[in-house]
Structure 1
């Protein structure tokens, strides 16, 4: 008779890696920065066109944190979105590399619009329909994961000690603006996209945004090892022709790397579903470096103004709430299947239907997404799915006024836009059936989870 408690090969591998990591950390807080090139090849699909030019490389970068708890991974990827099975696979494989569990891995896209999409289930559906490689390249996605996992394994051989944590904040001037301009009737009267040339959109107020960039810096004595930067905006200046690049947020990030040799700067996009640069960007190429300089300036100011405090392993706490998001009523699986199979539809229409079908099947079966929070001293970092509205970020900060709350959105890309409940009655693109695949009461669900995670700090 086989032993009922036999450990699987995968579980054994995680156990071995975890034990080896724990022998390294010896009670200290340690960090493993990683930075991996994930640039697609020419001809491979990026958001809206095949890659025709590589303007800048793309990266997946982040940190592994080693403490008395199991390892934690925070990873930011230059991609428009990583959803559904793609999101699950990234977390699973990175967890295996670090000897931890997928629930302790946060993977986020930066949402650049000249970068790839990754979702293996959607990719397989399209391959079966003869559309393989047009919108999704599964081989590329798997290769990215393998490269990043390898970089993590290599980095774990030389972890660095973290003695201090730095927390900084600075205002970003003339970048973010709210996309949804409301009329007197409370309905959306004008969408202000990532670029605007209409005077009405340019002259209208910024609207509801979070104007601050927040940073978390890990130090070993006087040496800054890694800086995590958090700001909320759609990162597009101009896009859509297949010119692969990491956009103005990536330019700012790389400039900070040059300014701080030997320090890894990582950028995470916040709750930017209804936020873009449209008030300050006319879509001309010369505006990209201008926007980048404004982000970079805030990164520099946040770094220079940071408050350093001593930190050790006992100061790290990771919390997870497995959460099922409510499915949008407009999703009709039979209709979605018919669109996928309809050869008269465009590849983009069929790919969108396939993506939504995959999300519907997962969500309607009760699939849960990990909503997580990393507590470090007086800082809390929330990790959430989808194209989240800025109101969630502002609400989270209100719930923990005594803490620095950073938020990374664009985790699991499957739900699409996650609006506030009232937004579903206001019109506009984000709350339309084309864009959002969750029901309006998603706001109550997420706010309850966010509050629970923020209230789970040791002192509470």
Structure 2
């Protein structure tokens, strides 16, 4: 018969061995980098609200897809969703539930919308206000949003049972020709004289220069020896060619993404939209149906070229580092909670007006109480991937690249949709839609705040120091 001490030691040893096969963070042997890919259909039902109208037709399915990275650190989740926006409590809940599924913390989960304009909005707090006003299902469908999260979380849990080994990591880039153009055309007085939207037939808008854009599409590829497992694609533009009738689709960026999936069987292509708040296809898109596949082909060609031109190198767990800055964004002074609540209660207002007021009130209440958004950066060898909220101006993406000129800096924006447009400080004095009270819910000081956060995050960490700890902004 075993004595009590050996019996206790044996029990502890058995429990330790069991743990090696349970928690996601324990599935990786020291030094190895592993990956789980996931792809879940999140297509809404007909009649459900999508952006600007009820869904009347399903042109293409919508997806939530991404990767879970398993290393010696806690797991990292990167998720891109075919949605116009996921904001406030909706954004928090996505991250919390995916973190639970992956065995990590919410700060290590990045969830981003692609911002297609015939796709759903998800914001549970705003949806609850609308339900309480008897307007449930008009602009938000909370049941749909929660079901999406459950489905994606379940897919992640299932995938964690069989992660794939990553032996090599590739970085590539290519120019996207004749897609992106800056939306804000300035006059001699420095003010916005013309808005060049996603589609345009104005000769002035078409003939004007592209303006400030980031023409580069970047791809990050995870390989198991000679087999590509997943490709993360990053490019910055409003993704719509035409929209607004309720014809659900993943737009031209989704078409390019799916074309690459067909070209690379067994490989998951994921697309993340960058700092595209003031970028759209208006110079090259007249809004006709024929232009959607043409724009898709232009993006697809860049995806293909970036993939073919990538430089591969061996990678291990030691090459992955995650940095977090919890950040409070300054609240715009135009937000008046009493007026917003009055609009919500006013039955003479349209459901759209009341919903818009509810969305602004939710953001105001969170932000004015000091709510902090996790702004994060994933470092993988010489690549730095920033994850930011809102409809960010392209200048933030270009500045991030200047902070780290010897790294490949990728940016995914459209994280927490709550702040709306996040402009540069000068833009708030230039006029135009993006900096108007209708569009932006943050103050001009936001540029100073975010620029410093980006600088802190994008600089490659000292690999000899732990980078798990959060820093407070």
TM-score (norm 1): 0.96
User: What residue number does 2:46 align with?
Assistant: 42
Distance in 1 of aligned mates of 2:21 and 2:44: 32
Cα contact 1:79–1:116 (8 A) shared by 2:
yes
Is residue 2:233 matched to residue 1:229?
yes
Match 1:396 to one of 400, 403, 422:
400
Cα contact 1:327–1:364 (8 A) shared by 2:
yes
The 1:334–1:189 alpha-carbon spacing in structure 2 relative to 1, beyond 3 Å, is same
User: What residue number does 1:259 align with?
Assistant: 263
RMSD of aligned Cα (Å): 1.2
SS of the aligned residue for 1:25 comes to coil
Match 2:281 to one of 271, 277, 284:
277
Cα contact 1:18–1:100 (8 A) shared by 2:
no
Cα contact 1:18–1:70 (8 A) shared by 2:
no
SS of the aligned residue for 1:273 comes to coil
User: What residue number does 1:419 align with?
Assistant: 423
Whose radius of gyration is greater, 1 or 2? Answer: 2
Distance in 1 of aligned mates of 2:355 and 2:345: 10
Cα contact 2:403–2:458 (8 A) shared by 1:
yes
Q: Which residues in structure 2 correspond to 1:261-410 (within 5 Å)? A: 261-410=265-414
Match 1:442 to one of 446, 465, 470:
446
Cα contact 1:216–1:227 (8 A) shared by 2:
yes
User: What residue number does 1:69 align with?
Assistant: 73
SS of the aligned residue for 2:177 comes to coil
Runs (5+) with no aligned partner, structure 1: 1-15
Is residue 2:37 matched to residue 1:33?
yes
Q: Give the CA deviation at 1:229.
A: 0.1
Q: Give the CA deviation at 1:21.
A: 2.0
Q: Which residues in structure 2 correspond to 1:99-114 (within 5 Å)? A: 99-114=103-118
Q: Give the CA deviation at 1:24.
A: 1.8
Distance in 2 of aligned mates of 1:99 and 1:18: 13
Match 1:24 to one of 15, 18, 27:
27
Distance in 2 of aligned mates of 1:122 and 1:18: 40
Consecutive aligned runs of 4 or more in structure 1 exceeding 3 Å deviation: 16-19
Is residue 2:462 matched to residue 1:458?
yes
Instruction: Name the count of aligned residue pairs.
Output: 446
Cα contact 2:384–2:460 (8 A) shared by 1:
no
Q: Which residues in structure 2 correspond to 1:80-99 (within 5 Å)? A: 80-99=84-103
Distance in 2 of aligned mates of 1:317 and 1:114: 36
User: What residue number does 2:176 align with?
Assistant: 172
Deviations 1:354-375 (A, max 9, x none): 0000000000000000000000
User: What residue number does 2:158 align with?
Assistant: 154
Q: Give the CA deviation at 1:457.
A: 1.8
Q: Give the CA deviation at 1:193.
A: 0.1
Distance in 1 of aligned mates of 2:176 and 2:142: 37
The 1:338–1:249 alpha-carbon spacing in structure 2 relative to 1, beyond 3 Å, is same
Q: Give the CA deviation at 1:18.
A: 9.8
Distance in 2 of aligned mates of 1:48 and 1:93: 28
TM-score (norm 2): 0.93
Cα contact 1:319–1:456 (8 A) shared by 2:
no
Cα contact 1:325–1:442 (8 A) shared by 2:
yes
Distance in 1 of aligned mates of 2:459 and 2:433: 34
Deviations 1:312-339 (A, max 9, x none): 0000000000000000000000000000
Distance in 1 of aligned mates of 2:277 and 2:252: 17
The 1:17–1:142 alpha-carbon spacing in structure 2 relative to 1, beyond 3 Å, is farther
Distance in 2 of aligned mates of 1:454 and 1:197: 39
Q: Give the CA deviation at 1:455.
A: 2.1
Cα contact 2:25–2:103 (8 A) shared by 1:
no
Distance in 1 of aligned mates of 2:88 and 2:25: 31
The 1:377–1:18 alpha-carbon spacing in structure 2 relative to 1, beyond 3 Å, is farther
Deviations 1:404-432 (A, max 9, x none): 00000000000000000000000000000
Deviations 1:81-118 (A, max 9, x none): 00000000000000000000000000000000000000
SS of the aligned residue for 2:272 comes to strand
